[in-house]
């Protein structure tokens, strides 16, 4: 609420906010996806505006405040920003220095490691498999729950869903939260029967405070030791360690540099229609055709254990980013065996495929794209001649919608589309169910898969509900049979595909509406609905960079949102730490630099 009520110009003066906001803005659900470089004050728009226009930064900020910030405040990225700010405030405090005997250099290094969306991803990866992981998850869920008004009918379903999730996981007897927050948790069983909303909220709020204090006072010092040890083994982190050693003996004076004047990069070159739908189709054509070129011909969905990424820029890492569109990074063998009880690949050579197996194979190809080789020359990149339909990239956009505060859902509600809104909710619930049921190593996966499976059946698949959903009855019945038991079903993919066909034209309307509102702010006086507003057509090299930028944003957002498993701590995280500069593009730019081998 405090973020939503603050002037966005002031918010962007905070490099940590700008980092999380950039990650959010580049999610591929939106039409316009700008990027802000706080060190220079420059905005990069995409799609770009006509070269003859001189876009106003004030107009852009007004558009962001009205049409992006409200969605950001409902996203999991915003929850992680709030948590990150609380952790940073503790690190900088005199209380931390006194309690943990930290020197200024320790505070500087820990702040450097934790700041930004990548810093929080690294912290959460470090906590995997520990009590700290559960405390973080409890804090995030409680933060969202306490911000809701359960008396508001539009928020009540989400409120109850979060309450049930807490009861099934973090508030059950024997959980880390129950054990570590004992002084307050003793009141919890009684609280479940208390009618007073304020009393229940007060108990949860106190438990959340205690969980946060444990994270700050116990897990942050452990993370600092972890970072020092990891950086010592990574060559690219040596300059950071050297600066840390210098700060131990000499603290440089804090110089406040004047803020750069905010401006927007002007477009250059040829002009074409300003249409985000067409631009997205061209980007999708690039990554889709690039995957199928001769250089990229390799097993897309082979069964082999997940390997640790190699050095940045290596052929091994860059040839196939198999979860780039959000497929949960599990061993493929788990998926195949869980789905069909078989051993080996999804294609099952030597015997005919059932329709469900064919669906799984087709969907796996849709979900997985390959990162294009940065070493390839632009002449190698595909020609973009193959037409691409919105349906081809809609799953990509819907996965981003879940991480972006559900802007597409809000659009459907404004258009008074209750059936389609219900369908979109089902798509997202199925997407949330997949990582839980497929990754048995997840915290509380057993409880969550039954909780989510039963919720899906009760909300969408009960007898009498079928008529409300324009999906094949066979699909719905097959879903119910396995989800009611908390089991994986390949029919999830069939259902999601059918839902996409229904929502496709409405998503095109959503993009058109996003274009109209953007142009109303940036090009007032123009006849916005007509195609006469022109923008520059990007070249193939730019499309390549844009595709990677949005892809990295989605992967990072999914990892924090929980619809994609967190990667373990690896050399890649240390290389990202060395490359990350919050004033030069932050987390997104660090990913691009590591992926493409260039800071440009």
Instruction: Please state whether beta strands 263-264 and 534-535 pair in parallel, antiparallel, or not at all (unpaired).
Output: unpaired
C-alpha distance across the termini of the chain, in Å: 36
Which helix (H) or strand (E) element contains residue 44?
strand 42-44
Query: 3-class DSSP state for residue 464?
Result: coil
Query: 3-class DSSP state for residue 149?
Result: coil
What per-residue confidence (pLDDT) applies to 78?
97
pLDDT in tens, 355-406: 444 544 454 444 433 333 333 333 333 444 456 688 888 998 999 999 999 9
Contacts of 105 (CB under 8 A, 6+ apart): 244, 245, 247, 248, 251
pLDDT in tens, 68-94: 999 999 999 999 999 999 999 999 998
What per-residue confidence (pLDDT) applies to 266?
82
Per-residue pLDDT of the chain (600 residues; tens, 9 = 90+): 889 889 999 999 999 999 999 999 999 999 999 999 999 999 999 888 887 778 899 999 999 999 999 999 999 999 999 999 999 999 999 888 888 889 899 999 999 999 999 999 999 999 998 999 999 999 999 999 999 888 888 888 888 889 888 888 888 888 888 888 865 544 444 444 444 556 778 889 999 999 999 999 999 999 999 999 999 999 999 999 999 999 888 877 766 778 889 999 887 764 566 788 888 888 877 766 655 443 333 333 333 333 333 333 332 333 324 344 433 333 333 343 333 333 333 332 333 344 444 544 454 444 433 333 333 333 333 444 456 688 888 998 999 999 999 999 999 999 999 999 999 999 999 999 998 888 877 777 788 889 999 999 998 988 766 567 889 989 999 999 999 998 998 999 999 999 999 999 999 999 999 999 999 999 876 544 343 344 445 566 677 788 888 888 999 999 999 888 777 788 888 888 888 888 888 888 887 777 666 444
Residue 170: phi and psi, rounded to 5, are -75, -20
Burial (CB count within 10 angstroms: exposed 0-12, middle 13-18, buried 19+), residue 435: buried
Contacts of 409 (CB under 8 A, 6+ apart): 401, 421, 424, 425
Cβ(563)–Cβ(435) below 8 Å? yes
d(CA 6, CA 81): 15
Taking residue 216's Cβ as centre, other Cβ atoms within 10 Å add up to 20
Query: 3-class DSSP state for residue 38?
Result: coil
DSSP letters spanning 356-396: HHHHHHHHHHHH--PPPPTTS-GGGS----S---HHHHHHH
Tell me whether the omega of the peptide bond preceding residue 69 falls within 30 degrees of 0, making it cis. Answer: no
Cβ(348)–Cβ(490) below 8 Å? no
Structure tokens at 161: 């869903």
d(CA 469, CA 133): 37
What per-residue confidence (pLDDT) applies to 92?
92
d(CA 239, CA 228): 13
What per-residue confidence (pLDDT) applies to 272?
63
Pick from 325, 120, 323: which is nearest to 223 by CA? 120
Cβ(498)–Cβ(473) below 8 Å? no
d(CA 44, CA 266): 8
Structure tokens at 443: 């915290």
């Amino acid at each position: 609420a405090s973020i939503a009520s603050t002037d966005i110009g002031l918010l962007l003066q905070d490099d940590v906010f700008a980092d999380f906001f950039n990650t959010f803005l580049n999610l591929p659900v939106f039409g316009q996806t700008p990027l802000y470089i706080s060190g220079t004050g420059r905005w990069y728009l995409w799609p770009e505006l006509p070269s003859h226009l001189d876009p106003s930064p004030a107009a852009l900020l007004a558009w962001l405040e009205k049409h992006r910030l409200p969605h950001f405040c409902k996203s999991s990225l915003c929850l992680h920003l709030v948590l990150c700010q609380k952790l940073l405030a503790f690190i900088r405090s005199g209380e931390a220095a006194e309690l943990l005997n930290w020197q200024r250099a320790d505070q500087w290094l820990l702040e450097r490691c934790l700041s930004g969306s990548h810093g929080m991803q690294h912290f959460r990866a470090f906590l995997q498999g520990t009590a700290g992981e559960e405390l973080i998850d409890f804090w995030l869920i409680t933060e969202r729950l306490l911000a809701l008004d359960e008396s508001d009918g539009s928020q009540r379903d989400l409120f109850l869903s979060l309450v049930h999730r807490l009861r099934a996981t973090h508030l059950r007897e024997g959980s880390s939260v129950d054990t570590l927050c004992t002084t307050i948790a003793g009141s919890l069983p009684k609280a479940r029967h208390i009618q007073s909303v304020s009393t229940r909220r007060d108990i949860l709020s106190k438990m959340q405070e205690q969980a946060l204090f444990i994270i700050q006072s116990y897990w942050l010092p452990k993370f600092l030791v972890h970072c020092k040890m990891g950086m010592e083994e990574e060559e690219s982190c040596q300059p950071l360690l050297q600066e840390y050693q210098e700060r131990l003996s000499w603290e440089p004076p804090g110089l406040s540099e004047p803020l750069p004047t905010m401006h927007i990069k002007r477009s250059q070159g040829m002009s074409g229609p300003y249409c985000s739908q067409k631009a997205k189709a061209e980007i999708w054509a690039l990554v889709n055709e690039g995957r199928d070129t001769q250089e990229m011909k390799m097993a897309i969905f082979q069964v082999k254990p997940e390997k640790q990424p190699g050095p940045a820029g290596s052929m091994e890492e860059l040839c196939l980013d198999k979860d780039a569109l959000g497929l949960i990074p599990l061993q493929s063998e788990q998926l195949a065996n869980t789905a069909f009880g078989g051993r080996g690949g999804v294609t099952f050579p030597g015997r005919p495929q059932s329709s469900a197996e064919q669906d799984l194979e087709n969907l796996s190809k849709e979900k997985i794209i390959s990162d294009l080789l940065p070493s390839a020359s632009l002449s190698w990149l595909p020609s973009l001649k193959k037409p691409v339909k919105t349906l081809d990239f809609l799953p990509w956009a819907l996965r981003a919608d879940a991480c972006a505060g559900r802007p597409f859902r809000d659009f459907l509600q404004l258009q008074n589309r209750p059936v389609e809104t219900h369908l979109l909710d089902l798509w997202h619930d199925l997407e949330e169910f997949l990582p839980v049921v497929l990754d048995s190593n997840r915290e509380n996966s057993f409880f969550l898969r039954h909780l989510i499976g039963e919720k899906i059946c009760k909300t969408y698949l009960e007898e009498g509900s079928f008529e409300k959903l324009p999906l094949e009855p066979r699909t719905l019945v097959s879903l119910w049979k396995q989800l009611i038991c908390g089991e994986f079903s390949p029919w999830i993919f069939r259902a999601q595909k059918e839902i996409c066909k229904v929502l496709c034209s409405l998503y095109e309307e959503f993009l058109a509406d996003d274009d109209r509102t953007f142009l109303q702010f940036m090009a007032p006086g123009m006849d916005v609905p007509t195609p006469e507003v022109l923008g520059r057509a990007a070249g193939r090299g730019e499309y390549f960079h844009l595709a990677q930028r949005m892809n990295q944003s989605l992967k990072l957002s999914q990892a924090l949102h929980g619809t994609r498993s967190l990667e373990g701590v690896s050399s890649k995280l240390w290389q990202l730490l060395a490359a990350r500069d919050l004033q030069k593009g932050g987390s997104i730019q660090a990913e691009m630099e590591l992926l493409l081998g260039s800071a440009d």
